[in-house]
């Protein structure tokens, strides 16, 4: 359980590792992921989220109410919001020959009837008239309509990509895209109308929230059709958007989805200014205190003294971090995605499988506790959370010319293609608990990666490039073996220190015969350690402890990917923790399981749980392992 986070691996005959390549080339990310979660927590979370789409509430009439107004329900003035999200998610998880669920096809076949002549959906609107802003209400028309149409453009584009036998859906997507080209951009990105755009409005129906939701759909429509006018319009909107794109802002969901659109625009234009804006926003949010210790953000994109999170925002934040990794190769984005996944998203999911809003307790610095859940947001978060878990599957194992990147040390199965050959990848993981007795004793997060193929001419198995989690401690034990050949096993149980900037392990076997299958094993040490509540650009490897008792007010306890939480109180608790010192002055903390545990182990998810502690250390000297 050492705190030093340098990642070590013994180097013996048959295995080696090296650092991440300096020149990163964006890998091709599969739009239709093959990966299947076999981690029991994630598998259940994802399946529950999908099952929510088949429950009684989501009838055809309910879904279409925001475009045909067949019944009173919440947010029908956000025309296209629920219908667009439902179509995007369910089309994404469907196969071309097997649409799912049974509600999808009736929705797709009817929704195109309600498109207006100018291309938008919803009420008739005079787009040249004044915007009906209301500082105190979202029950207005113009801005909510643009928000909903932005979501619907994504849904129609995804459905058109998946179901080529529905030309009317493709035509509706094109017509809606042209609405953004011909009406939205010239009307709402006009330098002469700046005073109007700066008018105060309720946060969910504000100008900056609603107008720019169309950028992501325009990029997707360009990718579907190759029609450059859609990408060009997204670029022009994104450039005009920059002068309004500041923190804090009222609506984190809108802000984060728009930042994701900037990365997508960069992918198709290679204009560095858009990637830079996204990376700068990430740094401002993380290092400026807008991101909680659990990896999430408030519904209002502010630092403190606001009330709730939002499942849509957490889903956008997860997807943005994945996009940033794909375009930079920087593992810090996967570290943040992992922190968010195991903590904030787990606490945001409802027993129904949907996602929503949860009360957060905060002080003048930021959030420090989960309070009661507020509501499952079946009008937005339920679809968006499920979509994020679906998209994450594309990033678990990523094929590159270098080999197969394993980005998260969790259990899953998938297939990847490397140099034209298809390989089956199966990972398993397990947490091993160890008793404290020497400075070489630690809990570990063990992972095995099997790479197999039934192709008799498969050749040499590709390298496996395993991400080093930022929570990993100072030791890693592992091994390599050719499956079916016990003599090939190379066990590793000595250690060698390597550069602390290493973010990936490159696992391979020398002189590997053709047409073989291989298994790699690794066990990351999994220390319990202290962390400041706000991350720093120069975050040290660990907090320096002395041989004397010390006190740390309002600090985070980390254990693996988990932020530890108080079992039954939303108040910040005092906690005494033993700090173990070895003769070599390496230290680590005892894991206080009786008082602080991961959220996924909490049985009562309705309770309040603080994730900051006032920690007092009690130094203990132990002998180094010889």
Mean pLDDT, residues 195-205 taken together? 96
Q: What pLDDT, on the 0 to 100 scale, is given for residue 154?
A: 98
Task: Write down the residue that tokens 């359980």 correspond to.
Answer: 1
- How far, CA to CA in Å, does 425 sit from each of 18, 30, 442, 464, 516? 21, 15, 28, 10, 14
The two tokens of residue 470 are 């930022």
Provide mean pLDDT across the span 395-411: 93
Across all residues in the chain, what is the average pLDDT? 88
Residue 1 has pLDDT above 70, yes or no: no
Here the tokens at position 63 are 């879904």
Average pLDDT over residues 612-616: 95
- pTM, two decimals, is 0.92
Between CA 430 and CA 442, with CA 436 as vertex, the angle to 5 degrees is 40
Gap between the Cα atoms of 562 and 598, Å rounded? 6
pLDDT band (50, 70, 90) for residue 594: confident
pLDDT of residue 125: 97
pLDDT at residue number 244: 97
- CB count, 10 Å around CB of 385? 30
CA distance 440 to 14: 25
Query: In this predicted model, what pLDDT tens digit does every residue of 496-506 receive, in sequence order?
Result: 323 333 477 77
Locate the domains of the chain by residue range.
Answer: 53-244, 245-395, 399-526, 529-621
User: 253 is written with which tokens?
Assistant: 């969901």
Model confidence pLDDT, tens digit, residues 437-493:
444 456 889 899 999 999 988 888 888 888 888 888 766 666 777 787 755 555 433
- Bridge partners, 507 (sequence order): 464
Q: Which range (248-262, 430-444, 481-495) has the least confidence?
A: 481-495
> What is the model's pLDDT at position 365?
94
Q: How many CA atoms lie within 13 A of 607 on its CB side?
A: 16
Q: What is the pLDDT of residue 544?
A: 67
What's the confidence (pLDDT) of residue 437? 44
Evaluate whether 236 touches 224 at the Cβ level (below 8 Å).
no
DSSP class of residue 183 equals: I
Average pLDDT over residues 412-430: 94
More confident residue, 536 or 574: 574
507 pLDDT exceeds 80? no
In this structure, of 365-379, 414-428, 508-522, the range with the lowest mean pLDDT score is 508-522
Per-residue pLDDT at 9 exceeds 50: no
Q: Is the pLDDT of residue 614 over 80?
A: yes
Instruction: Give yes or no for residue 26 having a pLDDT over 70.
Output: yes
Whether the Cβ atoms of residue 117 and residue 109 lie closer than 8 Å to each other: no
What DSSP element (H or E) covers 338? helix 331-340
The alpha carbon dihedral of 98, 99, 101, 103 has a sign of negative
| Band of residue 543 on the pLDDT scale cut at 50, 70, 90 | low
Q: What pLDDT was estimated at residue 116?
A: 98
Q: Is residue 182 over pLDDT 60?
A: yes
**Structure confidence at residue 489 (pLDDT):** 58
319-344 residues labelled b (16+ CB within 10 A) or e (exposed) = bbbbbbbbbbbbbbbbbbbbbbbbbb
Spacing of C-alpha 226 from chain mean position: 28
Across 64-87, average pLDDT: 96
Given this model, what pLDDT does residue 536 score? 78
Task: Report the first-to-last Cα separation within the chain, whole angstroms.
Answer: 16
The predicted pLDDT at position 6 comes to 25
Answer whether CATH 1.50.10.20 is correct for domain 245-395: yes
Q: Does domain 399-526 have CATH number 3.40.630?
A: no
Alpha carbon of 446 to those of 243, 327, 421, 508: distances in Å? 47, 28, 28, 18
Q: CA quadruple 377, 379, 385, 390: dihedral positive or negative? A: positive
Residues of the chain with pLDDT > 70: what percent?
Answer: 87
More confident residue, 248 or 536: 248
Question: What pLDDT shows up at residue 581?
Answer: 75
pLDDT at 227 over 80: yes
Sign of CA dihedral 434, 438, 444, 449: negative
Do the bridges between strand 613-621 and strand 551-559 make them parallel or antiparallel, or are there none, so unpaired? antiparallel
For the sheet with 444-452, list strands across it. 36-37, 412-418, 421-432, 444-452, 518-525, 476-482, 490-492
| For residue 196, pLDDT beyond 90 | yes
Q: Is 392 exposed, middle or buried (0-12, 13-18, 19+ CB in 10 A)?
A: buried
Q: What is the pLDDT of residues 330-350, one digit of tens each?
A: 989 999 999 999 999 999 999
Do domains 245-395 and 399-526 share one topology? The answer is no
Tell me the C-alpha distance between 305 and 514, whole Å: 61
């Amino acid at each position: 359980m050492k705190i030093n986070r340098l990642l070590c691996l013994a180097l013996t005959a048959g295995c080696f590792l090296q650092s991440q390549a300096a020149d990163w080339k964006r890998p091709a990310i599969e739009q239709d992921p093959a990966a299947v979660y076999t981690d029991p927590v994630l598998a259940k979370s994802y399946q529950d989220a999908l099952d929510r789409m088949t429950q009684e509430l989501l009838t055809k009439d309910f879904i279409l109410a925001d475009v045909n107004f067949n019944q009173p329900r919440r947010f029908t003035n956000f025309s296209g919001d629920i219908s667009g999200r439902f179509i995007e998610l369910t089309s994404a998880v469907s196969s071309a020959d097997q649409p799912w669920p049974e509600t999808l096809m009736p929705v797709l076949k009817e929704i195109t009837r309600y498109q207006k002549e100018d291309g938008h959906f919803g009420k008739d609107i005079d787009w040249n008239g004044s915007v009906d802003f209301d500082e105190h209400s979202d029950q207005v028309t113009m801005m909510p309509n643009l928000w909903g149409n932005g979501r619907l453009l994504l849904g129609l584009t995804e459905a058109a990509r998946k179901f080529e036998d529905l030309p009317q859906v493709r035509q509706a997507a094109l017509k809606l895209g042209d609405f953004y080209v011909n009406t939205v951009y010239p009307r709402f990105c006009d330098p002469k109308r700046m005073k109007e755009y700066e008018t105060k409005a309720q946060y969910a129906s504000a100008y900056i929230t609603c107008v720019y939701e169309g950028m992501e759909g325009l990029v997707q429509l360009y990718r579907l059709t190759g029609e450059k006018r859609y990408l060009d319009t997204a670029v022009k909107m994104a450039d005009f958007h920059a002068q309004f794109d500041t923190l804090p802002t009222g609506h984190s969901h809108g802000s984060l989805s728009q930042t994701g659109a900037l990365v997508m625009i960069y992918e198709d234009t290679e204009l560095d200014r858009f990637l830079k804006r996204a990376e700068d926003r990430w740094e401002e949010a993380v290092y400026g205190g807008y991101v909680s210790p659990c990896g999430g953000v408030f519904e209002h994109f502010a630092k403190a003294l606001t009330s709730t999170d939002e499942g849509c925002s957490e889903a956008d934040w997860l997807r943005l971090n994945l996009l940033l990794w794909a375009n930079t190769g920087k593992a810090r984005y996967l570290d943040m995605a992992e922190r968010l996944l195991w903590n904030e998203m787990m606490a945001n999911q409802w027993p129904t499988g949907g996602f929503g809003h949860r009360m957060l307790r905060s002080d003048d610095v930021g959030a420090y506790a989960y309070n009661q859940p507020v509501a499952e947001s079946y009008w937005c978060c339920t679809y968006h959370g499920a979509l994020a878990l679906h998209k994450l599957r594309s990033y678990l194992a990523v094929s590159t010319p270098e080999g197969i990147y394993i980005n998260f040390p969790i259990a899953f199965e998938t297939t990847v293609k490397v140099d034209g050959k298809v390989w089956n990848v199966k990972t398993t993981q397990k947490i091993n608990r160890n008793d404290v007795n020497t400075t070489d004793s630690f809990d570990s997060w063990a992972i095995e990666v099997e790479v197999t193929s039934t192709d008799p001419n498969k050749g040499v198995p590709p390298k496996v490039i395993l991400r080093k989690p930022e929570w990993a401690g100072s030791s890693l034990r592992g091994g390599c073996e050719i499956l079916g050949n016990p003599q090939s096993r190379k066990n590793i149980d000595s250690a060698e220190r390597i550069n602390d900037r290493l973010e990936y392990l490159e696992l391979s076997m020398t002189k590997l015969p053709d047409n073989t299958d291989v298994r790699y094993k690794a066990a990351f040490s999994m220390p319990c350690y202290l962390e400041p509540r706000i991350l720093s650009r120069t975050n040290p490897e660990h907090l320096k402890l002395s041989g004397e008792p010390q006190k740390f007010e309002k600090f985070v306890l980390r254990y693996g990917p988990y932020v530890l939480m108080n079992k039954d109180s939303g108040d910040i608790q005092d906690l005494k923790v033993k700090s173990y010192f070895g003769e070599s002055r390496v230290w680590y903390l005892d894991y206080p399981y009786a008082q602080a545990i991961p959220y996924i182990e909490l049985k009562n998810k309705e309770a309040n749980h603080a994730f900051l502690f006032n920690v007092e250390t009690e130094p203990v000297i132990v002998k180094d392992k010889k």
